[in-house]
Amino acid sequence: MEHTERTMPVSLGQALASFTEQWSPRIVTKVNDYDVRVTKVEGEHLWHTHAHTDEFFLVLSGELRIGLREPAGERTVVLSQGSVFTVPRGIEHKPYAPVPTEILLFEPSGTSTVGDRHDEVPAHVDVTTGHALG
């Protein structure tokens, strides 16, 4: 991203309106070595793990459920609009959106949408480190 792009305000609504693909995040800005990404999601993602980084979720609209496989067992967190949750590094997780949902993600630049270790990637999930807007 060029310096001039990083210094211009970004409307999250306009950023989200600029694409239709599901599970295909767009990078709206950078903060130091981190990407701020927005994406539209519905249905299931896949079980995956990020070995070296946490993953931050903010639900902008809709509802996101995140299945977690933790040492104490499996559980699901439910995030409604305005809720935030951080999946700790190394925890296997699987996001699921029962309704059309828009989320903001905050993670190190270059982080793959399917993590370092994952199940088979379904066709509707974009394997990417984030796309530029526009």
Lowest mean pLDDT among 16-20, 84-88, 116-120, 121-125: 116-120
- Domain assignment present for 83: yes
Give me the number of domains the chain comprises: 1
- Domain assignment present for 132: no
Q: What percent of the chain has pLDDT over 90?
A: 75
- Domain assignment present for 3: no
The confidence score (pLDDT) of residue 5 equals 54
The confidence score (pLDDT) of residue 6 equals 62
Rounded average pLDDT over 49-69 = 96
As beta bridge partners, residue 59 has 103
- Domain assignment present for 76: yes
Amino acid at 73: G
CA dist 84 and 6 (Å) reads 24
- Domain assignment present for 85: yes
- Domain assignment present for 6: no
Q: Domain of residue 27: give its range.
A: 22-125
- What pTM value is reported for the model? 0.88
For residues 131 and 24, the answer to whether their CB atoms sit within 8 Å is yes
- Domain assignment present for 86: yes
What CATH number has the domain bearing residue 32?
2.60.120.10
Query: Judging by beta carbons within 10 Å of its beta carbon (0-12, 13-18, 19+), is residue 134 exposed, middle or buried?
Result: exposed
Backbone angles phi, psi at 122, to 5 degrees: -70, 155
Task: Enumerate residues 6+ apart whose C-beta is below 8 A from 111.
Answer: 35, 50, 53, 55, 129
